[in-house]
Amino acid sequence: MIDVEDFFAGLFAVILFFYLFITGPIYNNFAIADNYIDNHIRTASTQFQKQVRNNGYIDLETYNKFLQELSRTRKPYKVEIVHGSKLIYPKGINDYQTVFIDHGNQEIFDEIYKKKSKYLMKYGDSFKVTVTETQEANSRVLLKSFKNIGANRTLLSFSTGGMIENEIN
């Protein structure tokens, strides 16, 4: 006669085997696709910021090409652009005051979208672009279901930038 505990242990082992047999390859495919997408976003962000830093400006064409590269992943992203400028004011004899000003999306987009012109930056200014996921990657959602983790979302954010290398007058 079959022992009830052995029966349920065997049944549990079979169910667990089939669950892992099915979900393991699915998770692996999701993880590979998510890694590819993450690398694509990093590459597109790096190329965009290098082009902007080299040109010394952002225009509508450059920004739209960047958005097209992001849209190839078919996932939504939040893009934040920050231009940092440094102003130096005299403050008496042999003294000065340095003020750092950050110009964000609103100011930059007003220039390139509403005024249809180039947003100019000066040599030595800083430029940074941050791309953040607005939708959690499939592999992380599936991994959370394995681990039975709560509703905390893990959204990746990619930041890149540097100093403006050229400027136009």
pLDDT per residue over 95-153, tens digit each?
888 889 999 999 999 999 999 999 999 999 999 999 999 988 888 777 777 776 655 66
pLDDT tens digit sequence for 67-98: 999 999 999 999 999 999 988 888 888 888 88
Run of H or E including 163: strand 157-163
Domain assignment present for 77: yes
Residue 74 lies in a domain: yes
pTM of the entire structure? Answer: 0.80
Q: Which domain holds residue 119?
A: 4-163
Degrees to nearest 5, angle at CA 162 with 123 and 63: 85
Into how many domains does the chain fold? 1
User: Is residue 21 domain-resident?
Assistant: yes
Q: What pLDDT is stored for residue 87 in this prediction?
A: 86
Domain membership of residue 41 (yes or no) is yes
106 domain residue, yes or no: yes
Chain-centre distance for alpha carbon 90: 39
